[in-house]
């Protein structure tokens, strides 16, 4: 199992959230998450980061630190990368931003606000 998989699996286990709850909040099928948790398959980057974003803040911060994300990382240092990213990578970034926005908006029914990128 790859390190990024181990990090997210541990964060999920320590979150106190059920796989069903996480899958519903992210908008993926519960079997997709179960296969990931059992080490049978990996996740798309979009789903990986969407799951990370719905976890409690403490678990998210621990996982991000293990992944090498630093709270001191400034957006300005990432912007040049976006300029050279593929359309698919740019779409993924927009999707992550949309997911963050939705998660921070306090809405309990995300289905009516799901954004397609």
pLDDT of residue 35: 95
Domain chopping of the chain, boundaries: 3-67, 75-105
51 to each of 77, 80, 102, how far by Cα in Å? 24, 26, 13
Compute mean pLDDT per 10 residues along the chain, 117 residues long, and list them. 90 96 95 94 89 94 84 69 80 83 63 48
Model pLDDT, residue 27: 93
Q: Which CATH architecture has domain 3-67?
A: Orthogonal Bundle (1.10)
CA–CA distance, 107 with 14 (Å, rounded to integer)? 24
Q: What is the pLDDT of residue 24?
A: 96
pLDDT of residue 69: 77
* pLDDT for 50: 92
Question: Which value, in Å, is the radius of gyration of the alpha carbons in the chain?
Answer: 14
What pLDDT is attached to residue 93? 82
pLDDT value at residue 56: 95
Contact by Cβ (8 Å): 13, 73: no
Where are the alpha helices (H) located in the chain, listed in sequence order?
3-15, 19-26, 30-37, 45-54, 57-67, 75-83, 87-104
pLDDT the model gives residue 68:
78
């Amino acid at each position: 199992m790859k390190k990024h998989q181990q990090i997210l699996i541990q964060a999920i286990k320590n979150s106190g959230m059920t796989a069903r709850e996480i899958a519903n909040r992210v908008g993926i099928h519960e079997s997709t998450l179960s296969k990931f948790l059992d080490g049978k398959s990996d996740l798309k980057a979009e789903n990986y980061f969407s799951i990370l974003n719905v976890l409690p803040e403490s678990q998210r911060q621990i996982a991000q630190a293990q992944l090498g994300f630093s709270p001191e990382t400034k957006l300005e240092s990432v912007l040049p990368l976006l300029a050279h990213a593929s359309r698919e990578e740019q779409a993924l970034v927009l999707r992550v931003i949309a997911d963050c926005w939705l998660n921070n908006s306090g809405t309990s029914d995300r289905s009516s606000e799901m954004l397609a990128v």
